[in-house]
Structure 1
Amino acid sequence: MIDQGLERRSAAVTEMPDELRHDVRLLGKLLGQVLAEQGGEDLLADVERLRKAVIAARRGEISADVITEMVAGWEIERAVAVARAFTCYFHLANLAEEHYRIRTLRERDAEGRVQRESLAQAVHELGHERVSELLEGLELHPVLTAHPTEARRRAVVTAIQRISGQLSEYNAPGRGASERAESKRRMLEEIDLLWRTAQLRSTKLDPLDEVRTAMAAFDETLFRMVPQVYRSLDTALDERSGTRPPLARPFIRYGSWIGGDRDGNPNVTSKVTRETIQIQSEHVLTALETACARIARTLTASAQFAPCSPELKAALATAVDAHPEVVSEVATRSPREPHRQWLLFVAARIAATRRRDLDLAYRTPAELLADLRLTQESLAASAPRQAYGELQHLIWQVETFGFHLAELEVRQHSQVHAAALAELRAGGALSERTEEVLATIRVIGWIQERYGVTACSRYVVSFTRSAEDIAAVYELARHALGDRAPVLDVVPLFESGQDLANSPDVLTGMLDIPEVQRRLADTGRRMEIMLGYSDSAKELGPAAATLRLYEAQEALTAWAAEHDVQLRMFHGRGGALGRGGGPANRAVLAQAPGSVAGRFKVTEQGEVIFARYGHIAIARRHLEQVANAVLLASSPTVGARTATAAERFRGMAEQVATASEQAYRALTEAPGFPEWFGLVSPLEELGSLRLGSRPARRGLGAPRSLDDLRAIPWVFAWAQTRVNLPGWYGLGTGLAAVDSLDELRAAYAEWPLFNVMLDNAEMSLAKTDRSIAKRYLALGGREDFAQQVLEEYDRTRDLVLRVTGHTRLLENRKVLSRAVQLRDPYVDALSHLQLRALRALRTETLSDQDRDRLSTLLLLSVNGVAAGLQNTG
């Protein structure tokens, strides 16, 4: 499947590293063997014909029309098989790149140098004293969401993980020939199974499926990774880490919308939310019990060499009196090993907590922490390495995850609350939806009684337009539970351009709400608001949304200072560039000065969860990069530099924002545009992919305007057409509105926000293919729209290159450039297959059978293109 000449087709392509080339060729060869065995040599031949043809078309050696004729000549079943083959290839190529990235991270770590964008680098740059000061308020808060942007089935993901395990075994140093042969045989077996595994979901996910999928990331990565991040910081602060009390305090807190976000998703009910927190608790308590028992079994230090403290001795005696059957069994297995006895007893209590055995269970995580610290303090006197080693990791894990794993957040639309209150005030019979709103608040109260306030207290109100939208939630809570209403931090979500501009006024109004006043008093005047990147970008265009969000952050930061409020901004970023995505660490450094202040909260969605948390080494690197950026962004020097640049280029930025928004609206608000978009993209068919439990659009039928369409399918559909319009459209016109190229270049060099905005647009442009995009745009029968899009693409590409000084897209991003350029021809193959299906579905009269078969081809190609581009929505 891999073309050995592909790497040499252009001098502009970065050379593929030997290790990566080896893995891609190995996996591609094994896939080719499977194709020949399962589909016959003729299937492999057709795959090779298409592969060579798209490469030749890229080189200008043949016309793309030749490829159109080739794929049109295949039976639909053969086209489907070819699409499956290219999709499997992308899964394997992505796997090979992940392995290369992990290998690179480990090699850099082995060199012993301070890695850039690491916690150690932040300590080196800012100094121990300054970092220690910042640690007091440092908080990194990723929030996992169930937004449907993961195109792969869980069965496909797990199949890829098994192949990954065998590839690791195959490449492990010191492996003998027979061991490598066995690993290769197992890889072939798993690739064969991947080929036989259906790529498309046959049933729609329900919310609890999404919860269990997210739990896999916790079980396999997050629980073990978090203490490694803390240890990294602790070591950077003092190399004696592990032999002294920790200097690093836990600063990571996970949140989750999965099972709590009911905005536009009627499948998320109060019953689902209740079951979600129970599933989360089951997973974290199981993990804590396993970790505690593992540490206990290894803690074989004899009382002769590690005597226990009087406090621990007394605690053991009390335990014997209260639970003789449990402690006597432990003592019999571990004579003269008091610390081991105690931790085995603690593990038994964690198990009882999971089983709800109230006689033995811990009531709160604080009780568990007290018992663990009792052990630590006893060991510290004679065995400090045992006190501050693995036991400290367990303490960090309890402090980070508690008994609830991640704070479950509820989200609902402001209009739902308004309708519910109208019914309640009218005093008549309540609708099912209003009853559900009240039931949700009762469930929040139940969660807080059982797991504590920190398990679920944040209630996000989407499309917040006024302080009344916030007050409505508190009034509903009184209707639901009266004086027993749960503790709520109601979080306004500002999404549209107008809402962003009005956000300070809304917060001022919130200060008059009694419940908000009480929460400010109880929390040291802390308040949280959320900024929506997806809908603002869909409304304003990428450039204008970026600049308006920055202005909103500046205004909100000033408001917080004026009203003595510690404001935390929750960034609702998507995975794709058109929804606020891109490198997270650079995004942090581009925030408005003072808006971070040691606190960064952000959504992690869909395919991003697996990309960032699928492997422990990558997850650790991701969190270190973000934590590094949060520390640097919170330092006065970086803030002052950013503020100076922002002020200098404010006028220029306004020109870019205004002109880009006008160009964007001129296209997207033109009569007939929504209908045209539906014709030129697979938008209509995306719902059949069954990506998640949430509907793809608001209301029924085809979208009459972009307001009817959610941001995810908007971005997903444009990515499939190879246009990637949400990531760059309007920017070219915005840049052209500025007379001075030198001023634009200076802004790119000096202002992090402008730099990140152009670099992200450059990434999006690099994933755009003009020639293939032109074929999609032609399907809509509106030459004016097609021409408008292509002219703006040419304008944006030209000006981005002129401002950045690059001679080609991604010239300064070697790894990403290599990934994009090596994938492009194979994505082309799937695009041609998709175009065949889309063209027929849009223009031909088809039998039900042919329509179903073509729809299958279309959806398989959608799945494959998503894997090739490595993003959906």
Structure 2
Amino acid sequence: MGDAQTAAGNDATQPLREDIRFLGGVLGDTIRDHEGPEVFDLVERVRVEAFRVRREEVERSAVGEMLTGVDITVALPLIRAFSYFVLLANLAEDIQRDRRRAAHEAAGEAPQDSSLAATYRKLDAAAVPGERVAELLSDALVSPVITAHPTETRRRTVFDTQSRITELMRQRLRAPEAERETLEIEIRRQVLTLWRTALIRLSRLRIQDEIAVGLRYYELTLLDVIPAINAGVRAALGSRWPEQRLLPKPLLRPGSWIGGDRDGNPYVTAEVVRTAASQAAGVAFGRYLRDLVQLEKTLALSARLVSVTPALDALADRGYPDPRTYADEPYRRALYGIRVRLTETARQAVAALDPAAAGPWEFESYGASDPDGGTPYPTPQDLLDDLDAVDASLRAGGDALLADDLLATLRYSVETFGFHLQGLDMRQNSETHEQVVTELLAWAGVHPDYPSLPEPERVELLTRELRTRRPLLSPRARLSEQAAEELGIVRAAAAVVAALGPDAVPNYIISMCTSVSDLLEAALLLKEGGLLDPGGADSGPSCPAGIVPLFETIEDLAAGASTLAAALRVPEYRELVAARGMRQEVMLGYSDSNKDGGYLAANWALYRAELDLVELAREHGIRLRLFHGRGGTVGRGGGRSYDAILAQPAGAVRGALRLTEQGEVIAAKYAERGSAHRNLESLIAGTLESTLLDVEGLGADAEPSYALMDELAARARAAYSQLVHETPGFVEYFRQSTPVAEVGDLNIGSRPASRKPTNSVSDLRAIPWVMSWSQARVMLPGWYGTGTALEEWIDGDPERLARLSDLYRRWPFFRTVLSNLAQVMAKSDLDIAARYAELVDDIDLRKRIFAMIEREHARTVAVHAAITGNDHLLADNPSLAESIRNRFPYLEPLNQMQVELLRRLRAGDDSELVKRGILLTMNGLATALRNSG
């Protein structure tokens, strides 16, 4: 890099360094004032040495020696100090991104990729025929689904205080000099609040807490941002293809698993399902009622000055009970009548699900009352019809400017969120379904030993039961606790649909789905719970919730298309799909496939599965919708969403995309309006481009490239399996060299760390598997095996290396795989990992396995550089490179202190303070890495 380029880069990052220096100084002052000079001096000495280690001026042992044997009462504030240094550095980076974006826009530069503005330019240049656009977007949906996998370790109090500091820092940037001192005092006040607030919970997060955490993002950003984006996209596409009626339904419709995902989480019950749905509905109803109150205040238009349509007159006539009230203000009377009806709708819907609910909406506080209680709206469309009548009357009277304000926002909101706010998916494991169905069939006398049946006989029995309206159970049936709970959950889902509409529970997902009977068992439970209607002589079966197979392991992904094809050959199942407009959703599991076969093999297994499913959809005439179970970290499918969408095979998106949003990624994306807007835009931009443009870029080279990836994936899986599944003692090494046992104690979620009470890798959930390797700075799930595969295939041949370099330039899938690998490897540090390896008691085991990890790490870095031509891992991601330079020196003491405390704990010091110190280091490292699980 030239001197001029370096100077320009330094100038661009100077404001960021100044912000970090200012916030670090405020935190340092707070520590000195409230912890005393001993703690402050140690923090400063450790901080200085950590930066010297990062610059390779001193050995890593310089920090380790300072922390060895430190008293736990001093260690705890030191850990908290570096955790908050990291948190404040993250905050400064977020502000810097906004600053850079504003400068980019002010300079009049072309819009950046992943923005809708850039996507519209690409669509304009491609001149896609309108008929083709209408066909591909006829069932369009982009749905981010918030899930209860909370590796987000910040407490809400910490989160809220951080948000206030962010806003104050932004005000400080814009404020004149005379106001800066006042703002800086307030920033110091908020930093003090942070310092005086406990970072970790003393008790495990409950599922009810997770529901509340998930819903807070609607009040923060999503209620405002999502309808605005939907309206903008519809207008932009409509102006380009006005002859087509594009996006009749809102494109962006959010979902949630929180309160509906029972797979491995016994705390999800029928009551929890009802609570999750009723509280979500309360958020939607509350927002609509508040908007209606405001509209009544602003639309006090006088009948002496405006004319109204007959439809508006009719609404006004059934408004206020007293005809003399607001007699000449028809809009106010009409809106009051709408509010009366909506208040009663909300009261009845929420009461039907949770009679004791007192939720935040407090319907009575909106003052809408009627002697008759009002007639509830049967559906959201009925409410929309009334709002549309108000809109049409304003426009007919020449007042479109008023219609385009809050009323338009309310209409878009109702259209987007309905009465349910978000679609609540149900999920359970196929093994549980089999156990419950076995019990039901035995109790009803249908078959005494269902598991003994071969697959064809299972399918025959299940389809026979699905054809009949006869229930298997009587009201007096006595069931096991498990069967009663599972049926109770399905019945609760049916109650949610009855109260809030079919969009309230859009999917029933089957984890570890491997056969046709797995799909039909779920269908039978849905029928028995009242959600699936088997139909009769004049109608076929129907179910508001789509039955969604989740293919998770590499073998299940490979067999996914054949499993689904076999199901579609069963008339009863195909009729269910037909009742949903021939739409079939399939979920793809990133986490377990990675844990099963390693990074490269899992990514290619997912791509191959999508290719097979796209072909199956074409052959069977179904509309395929893929649901991507992505986690925050690369080891669980993470990485930039826009790039991930463009890396899908041709035909895999077709206007429809669902993906999970998990952990600390949720707060990073959706806690602030600007970031929420950008991230949701990027999902839509990627979906539109992948649907309407040729982004794969392989052309006639597709099949040879696929064959090459088949070979690379097989080699990568073999290398990964040799370590993880075949090396004697590997599980013991993992348990001792990472804090996996302690991850289970971190109060970050209601879900247990393992599906079963075992210590095997296969039964461990992906979050603790990935998070443990991240804490130890190995990041193994995000790269191991890839280097061996690539190096073996190249085998020193320049032409083979050139072939891979060409694919890296042309093929978004391969480029994204290598880019994400580079991101995760840049966050690894094998010198620190070696300190964790010292915790392994068996010296020979330690040396043997760590040497394998070291060799593969070096091999992967070298082959990545050879293929990409980059001189360092983050050459294509300068913002992350800058982030690592700013934040990672603060990780040094957190990692060193974690190793020290793990050593003490495992030597027998199980005091509460030592345990708390370990959890604090885990919290700080998760905050610093920003995609811990």
TM-score by length of 1: 0.92
Q: Which amino acid aligns with 1:709?
A: L
- The answer for unaligned runs of 5 or more in structure 2 is 1-5, 349-368, 445-477, 535-542, 795-799
Relative to structure 1, the CA distance from residue 769 to residue 527 in structure 2 (aligned partners, 3 Å threshold; closer, same or farther) is same
Q: Which amino acid aligns with 2:331?
A: H
Relative to structure 1, the CA distance from residue 12 to residue 47 in structure 2 (aligned partners, 3 Å threshold; closer, same or farther) is farther
Residue 337 of structure 1 deviates from its aligned partner by 3.8
Out of 501, 504, 525, the residue aligned to residue 476 of structure 1 is 525
SS in 2 for 1:688: coil
Residue 835 of structure 1 deviates from its aligned partner by 1.3
Q: What pairs up with 1:654-693 in 2 under 5 angstroms?
A: 654-669=710-725, 670-693=727-750
Relative to structure 1, the CA distance from residue 841 to residue 11 in structure 2 (aligned partners, 3 Å threshold; closer, same or farther) is farther
Residue 13 of structure 1 deviates from its aligned partner by 8.8
Q: Deviations over 1:619-654 (max 9, x none)?
A: 111111111111111125335x24545334223212
Q: Give the whole-Å Cα distance in 2 for the aligned partners of 1:647 and 1:135.
A: 27
Out of 160, 165, 168, the residue aligned to residue 167 of structure 2 is 165
Q: Which amino acid aligns with 2:166?
A: S
Relative to structure 1, the CA distance from residue 737 to residue 454 in structure 2 (aligned partners, 3 Å threshold; closer, same or farther) is same
Out of 532, 555, 580, the residue aligned to residue 523 of structure 1 is 580
Q: Quick check: 2:238–2:246 contact (8 Å CA) kept in 1?
A: no
Q: Deviations over 1:579-621 (max 9, x none)?
A: 0000001000000110101111100112111111011111111
Q: Quick check: 1:14–1:817 contact (8 Å CA) kept in 2?
A: no
Q: What pairs up with 1:699-738 in 2 under 5 angstroms?
A: 699-700=756-757, 703=759, 705-738=760-793
Residue 372 of structure 1 deviates from its aligned partner by 0.9
Q: Quick check: 1:230–1:248 contact (8 Å CA) kept in 2?
A: no
Residue 483 of structure 1 deviates from its aligned partner by 8.0
CA RMSD of superposed structures (Å): 2.5
Residue 118 of structure 1 deviates from its aligned partner by 1.9
Relative to structure 1, the CA distance from residue 533 to residue 27 in structure 2 (aligned partners, 3 Å threshold; closer, same or farther) is same
Q: Which amino acid aligns with 1:855?
A: K
| Equivalent in the alignment of 2:26 | 30
Residue 90 of structure 1 deviates from its aligned partner by 1.2
SS in 2 for 1:690: coil
SS in 1 for 2:94: helix
Is 1:649 equivalent to 2:705 in the alignment?
Answer: yes
Is 1:752 equivalent to 2:807 in the alignment?
Answer: no
Q: Give the whole-Å Cα distance in 2 for the aligned partners of 1:644 and 1:359.
A: 64
Q: Give the whole-Å Cα distance in 1 for the aligned partners of 2:240 and 2:313.
A: 29
Q: Quick check: 1:645–1:747 contact (8 Å CA) kept in 2?
A: no
Q: Quick check: 1:495–1:536 contact (8 Å CA) kept in 2?
A: yes
Q: Quick check: 1:593–1:642 contact (8 Å CA) kept in 2?
A: no
SS in 1 for 2:684: helix
Residue 147 of structure 1 deviates from its aligned partner by 0.8
Out of 841, 846, 857, the residue aligned to residue 793 of structure 1 is 857
| Equivalent in the alignment of 1:533 | 590
Q: Give the whole-Å Cα distance in 1 for the aligned partners of 2:85 and 2:433.
A: 47
Residue 773 of structure 1 deviates from its aligned partner by 1.4
Q: Quick check: 1:542–1:727 contact (8 Å CA) kept in 2?
A: yes
Relative to structure 1, the CA distance from residue 517 to residue 786 in structure 2 (aligned partners, 3 Å threshold; closer, same or farther) is same
Relative to structure 1, the CA distance from residue 146 to residue 14 in structure 2 (aligned partners, 3 Å threshold; closer, same or farther) is farther
Q: Which amino acid aligns with 1:165?
A: E
Q: Which amino acid aligns with 1:795?
A: R
Residue 408 of structure 1 deviates from its aligned partner by 0.7
Q: Give the whole-Å Cα distance in 2 for the aligned partners of 1:482 and 1:355.
A: 23
Relative to structure 1, the CA distance from residue 865 to residue 219 in structure 2 (aligned partners, 3 Å threshold; closer, same or farther) is same
Is 1:58 equivalent to 2:54 in the alignment?
Answer: yes
Relative to structure 1, the CA distance from residue 68 to residue 642 in structure 2 (aligned partners, 3 Å threshold; closer, same or farther) is same
Residue 576 of structure 1 deviates from its aligned partner by 0.4
Q: Which amino acid aligns with 1:433?
A: Q
Relative to structure 1, the CA distance from residue 247 to residue 792 in structure 2 (aligned partners, 3 Å threshold; closer, same or farther) is closer
| Equivalent in the alignment of 2:509 | 460
Q: What pairs up with 1:821-832 in 2 under 5 angstroms?
A: 821-832=885-896
| Equivalent in the alignment of 2:409 | 393
Q: Quick check: 1:277–1:408 contact (8 Å CA) kept in 2?
A: yes
Q: Quick check: 1:592–1:642 contact (8 Å CA) kept in 2?
A: no
Relative to structure 1, the CA distance from residue 138 to residue 75 in structure 2 (aligned partners, 3 Å threshold; closer, same or farther) is same
Q: Give the whole-Å Cα distance in 1 for the aligned partners of 2:313 and 2:586.
A: 48
Q: What pairs up with 1:502-581 in 2 under 5 angstroms?
A: 502-581=559-638
TM-score by length of 2: 0.87
Q: Give the whole-Å Cα distance in 2 for the aligned partners of 1:238 and 1:473.
A: 40
Q: Which amino acid aligns with 2:497?
A: Q
Q: Which amino acid aligns with 2:55?
A: R
Q: What pairs up with 1:495-506 in 2 under 5 angstroms?
A: 495-506=552-563
Q: Quick check: 1:303–1:338 contact (8 Å CA) kept in 2?
A: yes
Q: Deviations over 1:188-232 (max 9, x none)?
A: 111111111111111111111100011110111100001221344
Q: Which amino acid aligns with 1:861?
A: T
- The answer for unaligned runs of 5 or more in structure 1 is 1-9
Q: Quick check: 1:471–1:513 contact (8 Å CA) kept in 2?
A: no
Q: Which amino acid aligns with 2:38?
A: D
How many residues end up aligned between the 2 structures?
845
Is 1:807 equivalent to 2:864 in the alignment?
Answer: no
Q: Give the whole-Å Cα distance in 2 for the aligned partners of 1:688 and 1:253.
A: 35
Q: Deviations over 1:444-486 (max 9, x none)?
A: 1111111111111411000001010010012223333498686
Q: Give the whole-Å Cα distance in 2 for the aligned partners of 1:412 and 1:373.
A: 40
Is 1:313 equivalent to 2:310 in the alignment?
Answer: no
| Equivalent in the alignment of 1:207 | 207
Relative to structure 1, the CA distance from residue 792 to residue 292 in structure 2 (aligned partners, 3 Å threshold; closer, same or farther) is same
Q: Deviations over 1:560-583 (max 9, x none)?
A: 000000010110011100000000
| Equivalent in the alignment of 1:144 | 146
Q: What pairs up with 1:97-108 in 2 under 5 angstroms?
A: 97-108=93-104
Question: % of aligned pairs identical?
Answer: 36
Q: Give the whole-Å Cα distance in 1 for the aligned partners of 2:10 and 2:819.
A: 18
Residue 421 of structure 1 deviates from its aligned partner by 1.2
| Equivalent in the alignment of 1:70 | 66
Is 1:181 equivalent to 2:181 in the alignment?
Answer: yes
Q: Give the whole-Å Cα distance in 2 for the aligned partners of 1:648 and 1:15.
A: 46
Q: Give the whole-Å Cα distance in 2 for the aligned partners of 1:78 and 1:328.
A: 73
| Equivalent in the alignment of 2:391 | 376
Q: Quick check: 2:419–2:501 contact (8 Å CA) kept in 1?
A: no
Q: Quick check: 2:137–2:246 contact (8 Å CA) kept in 1?
A: no
Out of 877, 884, 906, the residue aligned to residue 820 of structure 1 is 884
Q: Give the whole-Å Cα distance in 2 for the aligned partners of 1:313 and 1:828.
A: 70
Out of 422, 443, 452, the residue aligned to residue 406 of structure 1 is 422
Residue 779 of structure 1 deviates from its aligned partner by 2.2
Relative to structure 1, the CA distance from residue 434 to residue 657 in structure 2 (aligned partners, 3 Å threshold; closer, same or farther) is same
| Equivalent in the alignment of 1:367 | 382
Residue 120 of structure 1 deviates from its aligned partner by 2.4
Q: What pairs up with 1:255-294 in 2 under 5 angstroms?
A: 255-294=255-294
Out of 116, 119, 122, the residue aligned to residue 119 of structure 1 is 116
Q: Which amino acid aligns with 1:747?
A: L
Q: Give the whole-Å Cα distance in 2 for the aligned partners of 1:108 and 1:303.
A: 49
Residue 728 of structure 1 deviates from its aligned partner by 0.6
Q: Quick check: 1:149–1:607 contact (8 Å CA) kept in 2?
A: yes
| Equivalent in the alignment of 1:342 | 334
Q: Which amino acid aligns with 1:776?
A: Y
Is 1:88 equivalent to 2:152 in the alignment?
Answer: no
SS in 2 for 1:634: helix
Relative to structure 1, the CA distance from residue 493 to residue 366 in structure 2 (aligned partners, 3 Å threshold; closer, same or farther) is same
Residue 747 of structure 1 deviates from its aligned partner by 0.9
Q: Give the whole-Å Cα distance in 1 for the aligned partners of 2:414 and 2:107.
A: 32
Q: Which amino acid aligns with 2:874?
A: L
Q: Give the whole-Å Cα distance in 1 for the aligned partners of 2:419 and 2:736.
A: 49
Residue 328 of structure 1 deviates from its aligned partner by 5.5
SS in 2 for 1:324: coil
Q: What pairs up with 1:291-310 in 2 under 5 angstroms?
A: 291-303=291-303, 306-310=306-310
Q: What pairs up with 1:433-444 in 2 under 5 angstroms?
A: 433-444=482-493
Q: Quick check: 1:642–1:752 contact (8 Å CA) kept in 2?
A: no
